[in-house]
Structure 1
């Protein structure tokens, strides 16, 4: 007595029932090998991100540089306006932010007199600003 016969006898299956069960098993095995619905639009989780933000910051004291660095660590770009702070404090902030940007593989660029753009590595900046006019020339120039 073969294994098929023993199996049929154990479950009391007719030949038709056994063949149906065998076809179902074969179909399930094929589905495992080739799923019916193949997903073609696979997206890496790393590419799915929240909307990017740009933070505008105008520090009044050096202690606020820590908050700017925290935004950079959270992968947000920051525009820093240092026009309302003393020159020596502004210089310390730029030095601190330069170190922070270096640590996170980002960039820092000057946009204008005492205005800087700090970006983390996930933000790409294209183009550059080549020349800054003295403030006296800005007041007399025409748009």
Structure 2
């Protein structure tokens, strides 16, 4: 079957003459337990961790438009690691401001993990830091040094 015909069949525009093609793909994913990933910038821990309630999402936004995904994950109670290293400084500042408002509104916390990398933690999550090991704390956020 040609690629145009496959695309048309996938969209449901024409009758699919090769049912085996689609059935095999879905059967493989069901047997191995692989999860569908729709956005390569968002990674969530495995399904078994989700059942227990221990999930952490990692988001590497490319623009401020990706902030909505961060908000949706955080609103669902998932701690989010936001990596802003690939963003322009002005957009990164906007995302940090959005994340700070998001954590304030939902009574969570925001912590700097590394330069331009932040951890957004929901209210019911305890973050254990390494300051007790002798590492001095750094005050301020991305643009407040």
Report the TM-score, using the length of structure 1 for normalisation.
Answer: 0.55
- Cα shift readout 1:93-131 (whole Å, capped 9, x = no counterpart): 000010011011000000111000001112111225646
Alignment gaps of 5+ in structure 1: 1-48, 133-143
Alignment of 1:1-143 (within 5 A): 50-128=52-130, 130=136
Let me know the Cα RMSD of the aligned residues: 1.7
Change (3 A) 1:128 1:105: farther
Change (3 A) 1:101 1:128: farther
Alignment gaps of 5+ in structure 2: 1-50, 139-145
Q: Quick check: which has more Rg, 1 or 2?
A: 1
Question: Whose RCO is larger (CA < 8 A, sep 6+)?
Answer: 1
SS in 2 for 1:123: coil
Report the TM-score, using the length of structure 2 for normalisation.
Answer: 0.54
Please state how far the C-alpha of 1:90 moved relative to its aligned partner: 0.2
